[in-house]
Chains A and B, each alone.
Chain A
Amino acid sequence: MNSETKPKGSARRQFLADTARMACGVGLLGLGVGLYARNATALPPAALRPPGALPEAEFSAACIRCGMCVRDCPFDMLMLAKPEDPMATGTPYFVARQAPCEMCEHIPCVKACPTSALDHSLTDITKARMGLAVLVDQETCLNYLGLRCDICYRVCPLLDKAITLDPQTNTRTGTHTLFIPVVHSNACTGCGLCEKACPTEIAAIKVFPLYMARGQLSAHYRLGWVEKEKAGGSLVTPDVEHQYHMPEGMKYEYGKGLSVVPPGEAAPGAVPPVPTFKALQGDKL
């Protein structure tokens, strides 16, 4: 450069201009990379992570895309995302309908992971939560149609725990029973065996990543029956038995209807007065 021949201020100007140019160019590239990376960190619904995978946001930081989990999977059902796949390039996933997780007892994929991307504290495969099975299509599920398919129920590695068959009346025939497959999130690992085994053209039961499959009650919701059990009794004033205003000398019994009060029994007039709404609410009214 000929900067030595120029005044000092000129060299400084040149340096600042060069630096600014570099910062802008690289900054633009960084913006592109950052936005691209942000967009690609949402897991598509058909893709599931191996057992013990951290929540997606942390997973894309912890996974170093080495493929060790893929290599150590004895069933070879894991894949690494290619650049065109709609998730972080090079990260492991599986598609339940193609090849589900066989839930190895010793979880070799987790052991192979050199980072915390697959949580090494997971030692019991039944505690894995790769996703959650959802019976998405009640119109094509054979059990919903009244057949005894039961395949998802039978193939489930946590038989009768992750999927149960709940009897319901078949309202079409009026005489038969539907055995409705119900998935229980406290047991389902999201292995995908049910989705793989579903005999319909497109699976009626599918495993989704947890963020898609799960709902959540608002934090302030309380289940009355649970609270009642915890408290050992009702927490609200008990319901008052319903009172009827009958014609004099008549009474009403459930299933029997109106009848004349036999002589000698307490006349309706003798019934203690019904507590009024005001009396129940007290001063609060």
Chain B
Amino acid sequence: MSALPHKVGAEAIAEKGWLVAHKWLILRRASQIGILLLFMVGPWFGWWIVKGNLNYSYTLGVLPLTDPYLLAQMLAAGQTPEQLAWVGVAIVVIFYLLVGGRSYCSWVCPVNLVTDLANWLRTRLGLKGGAHLARRTRYWILGMTLVVAAITGTIAWEMLNPVSMLHRGLFFGIGFAWAVILAVFLFDLFVMRQGWCGHLCPVGAFYGLIGKASLLRIKLPQRAACNDCMDCFAVCPEQQVIRPALKGINGAAPIILEAQCTNCGRCIDVCSKDVFRFGIRFGAPVPGVSGTVSPVPK
């Protein structure tokens, strides 16, 4: 069973109350489900607020949004988009430069709901261990998909991509895409913790690269208050990003600058000592001094 000495997040709930200790998680689920609903009300009720899917969408006839990774594959395959798609990709890149590249993963992507469920179940069932893969595997896969697009002259990864397959499937008919999604679920449940989103997915890897320069970050203005309860580590989908900023390893500033952080905010929720906050990357606070950074509302 669980090697942790206590239930993850129990301290935070006792300290801050259940609602505050789940604030970002609730907001995140609201965002994920809300975005799905926005796409859903069109086919369901004929209210066409958004058309298209996560690859490219057009909102209220004014706002084009294009997936930059898809556009990169398209360019690699030797084709160019029309003007609206260029505008769409510019908006998306600027947006994620502001809010953090992998915010896409934790706040938008529908597969995150699936893999979070797998991870929750994995914890509940006390499943430990499994296969090992380097976290950087996703960058290799990302590179591979671009090379394959260039060689075959097709957007080859779209044949398999669970992200677009699930999102498209929900609004255009899912077909056997459910089997692909089930495979991802089972992989994350039995084979590897955070296997898909944290190790393999090239979509997340691409957004992570955008996020390297992004403005919104998790800051640790009160890292001196850390009582080593390890709750943040237990809930973090990219555990490797926490330790350097939290412990000041090699003089690291109290801010998580790693591209892989998904800005999910779960660490903020579960910390009873309020070590973590959302903040902007500039003007790193002095360690141990509180109130130097105010949280940026989502």
Q: Could you list which residues of chain A lie within 8 angstroms of chain B, going by C-beta atoms?
A: 18, 22-23, 25-27, 29-30, 33-34, 36-38, 40-41, 57-58, 60-68, 70-72, 79-80, 82-85, 88-90, 112-117, 120
Query: Is B77 a contact partner of A68 (Cβ separation < 8 A)?
Result: no
Residue of A nearest to B140 (CB): A26
**In whole Å, how far is B58's beta carbon from the nearest beta carbon of chain A?**
6
Query: Is B156 a contact partner of A114 (Cβ separation < 8 A)?
Result: no
Pick the contact of B78: A61, A63, A65 (CB < 8 A). Answer: A61
Residues on A with C-beta less than 8 A from B136 are 22
Query: Is B148 a contact partner of A114 (Cβ separation < 8 A)?
Result: no
Of the 9-residue stretches B12-20, B27-35, B63-71, B246-254, which lies at the interface with chain A? B63-71
Pick the contact of B180: A36, A72, A83, A117 (CB < 8 A). Answer: A83
Q: List 15 A-B contacts (CB under 8 A).
A: A26-B143, A58-B79, A60-B77, A63-B155, A64-B56, A67-B172, A68-B52, A80-B168, A83-B176, A83-B177, A84-B176, A88-B159, A90-B55, A114-B56, A114-B88
Interface residues of B in 129-186 (CB under 8 A from A): 134, 136-137, 140-141, 143-145, 147-149, 151-160, 164-165, 168-169, 171-177, 179-180
Query: Is B159 a contact partner of A33 (Cβ separation < 8 A)?
Result: yes
Query: Is B137 a contact partner of A82 (Cβ separation < 8 A)?
Result: no
Query: Is B81 a contact partner of A115 (Cβ separation < 8 A)?
Result: yes
**In whole Å, how far is B140's beta carbon from the nearest beta carbon of chain A?**
4
Residue of B nearest to A61 (CB): B77
**In whole Å, how far is B141's beta carbon from the nearest beta carbon of chain A?**
6
- Bound: A120/B147 CA distance, A: 28
Residue of A nearest to B48 (CB): A71
**In whole Å, how far is A65's beta carbon from the nearest beta carbon of chain B?**
5
Residues on A with C-beta less than 8 A from B78 are 58, 61
Interface residues of B in 176-223 (CB under 8 A from A): 176-177, 179-180
Pick the contact of A40: B159, B168, B177 (CB < 8 A). Answer: B159
B264 at interface by CB-CB < 8 Å: no
Query: Is B79 a contact partner of A26 (Cβ separation < 8 A)?
Result: no
Residues on A with C-beta less than 8 A from B144 are 26-27, 29-30, 33
Q: Could you list which residues of chain B lie within 8 angstroms of chain A, going by C-beta atoms?
A: 42, 48, 51-53, 55-58, 64, 66-67, 70-71, 74, 77-82, 84-85, 88, 134, 136-137, 140-141, 143-145, 147-149, 151-160, 164-165, 168-169, 171-177, 179-180
- Bound: A72/B157 CA distance, A: 26
Query: Is A82 a contact partner of B53 (Cβ separation < 8 A)?
Result: no
- Bound: A62/B149 CA distance, A: 11
Residues on B with C-beta less than 8 A from A67 are 51-53, 168, 171-172
- Bound: A229/B245 CA distance, A: 85
Query: Is A66 a contact partner of B165 (Cβ separation < 8 A)?
Result: no
Residues on B with C-beta less than 8 A from A65 are 53, 55, 155, 158, 164, 168
Residue of A nearest to B174 (CB): A82
- Bound: A120/B155 CA distance, A: 21
Question: Closest 4 CB pairs between A and B?
Answer: A82-B175, A37-B156, A61-B77, A66-B56
Query: Is B84 a contact partner of A114 (Cβ separation < 8 A)?
Result: yes
Residues on B with C-beta less than 8 A from A36 are 156, 159-160
- Bound: A57/B152 CA distance, A: 9
Residue of A nearest to B71 (CB): A64
Query: Is A88 a contact partner of B153 (Cβ separation < 8 A)?
Result: no
Residues on A with C-beta less than 8 A from B51 are 67-68, 71-72, 112
A37-B152, A71-B48 as given contacts; A64 in contact with B55, CB under 8 Å: yes
- Bound: A10/B189 CA distance, A: 35
A23-B140, A115-B79 as given contacts; A82 in contact with B176, CB under 8 Å: yes
Query: Is A68 a contact partner of B58 (Cβ separation < 8 A)?
Result: yes
Residue of B nearest to A39 (CB): B159
- Bound: A249/B281 CA distance, A: 118
Query: Is B168 a contact partner of A90 (Cβ separation < 8 A)?
Result: yes
- Bound: A40/B137 CA distance, A: 26
- Bound: A85/B159 CA distance, A: 11
Query: Is A26 a contact partner of B141 (Cβ separation < 8 A)?
Result: yes
**In whole Å, how far is B100's beta carbon from the nearest beta carbon of chain A?**
24
Query: Is A62 a contact partner of B74 (Cβ separation < 8 A)?
Result: yes
Query: Is B168 a contact partner of A114 (Cβ separation < 8 A)?
Result: no
Residues on A with C-beta less than 8 A from B179 are 83
Query: Is A82 a contact partner of B177 (Cβ separation < 8 A)?
Result: yes
Query: Is A114 a contact partner of B172 (Cβ separation < 8 A)?
Result: no
Beyond the given pairs A60-B153, A84-B175, 9 more chain A to chain B contacts, judged by CB atoms under 8 angstroms and listed by A's residue number, are A30-B147, A60-B155, A68-B52, A68-B56, A82-B169, A89-B165, A90-B55, A90-B164, A114-B81
**In whole Å, how far is A108's beta carbon from the nearest beta carbon of chain B?**
11
Pick the contact of A90: B134, B140, B147, B158 (CB < 8 A). Answer: B158
**In whole Å, how far is B69's beta carbon from the nearest beta carbon of chain A?**
11
Query: Is B79 a contact partner of A34 (Cβ separation < 8 A)?
Result: no
- Bound: A114/B71 CA distance, A: 11
**In whole Å, how far is B200's beta carbon from the nearest beta carbon of chain A?**
9
Query: Is B57 a contact partner of A66 (Cβ separation < 8 A)?
Result: yes
**In whole Å, how far is B292's beta carbon from the nearest beta carbon of chain A?**
35
Residues on A with C-beta less than 8 A from B177 are 82-83
**In whole Å, how far is A103's beta carbon from the nearest beta carbon of chain B?**
22
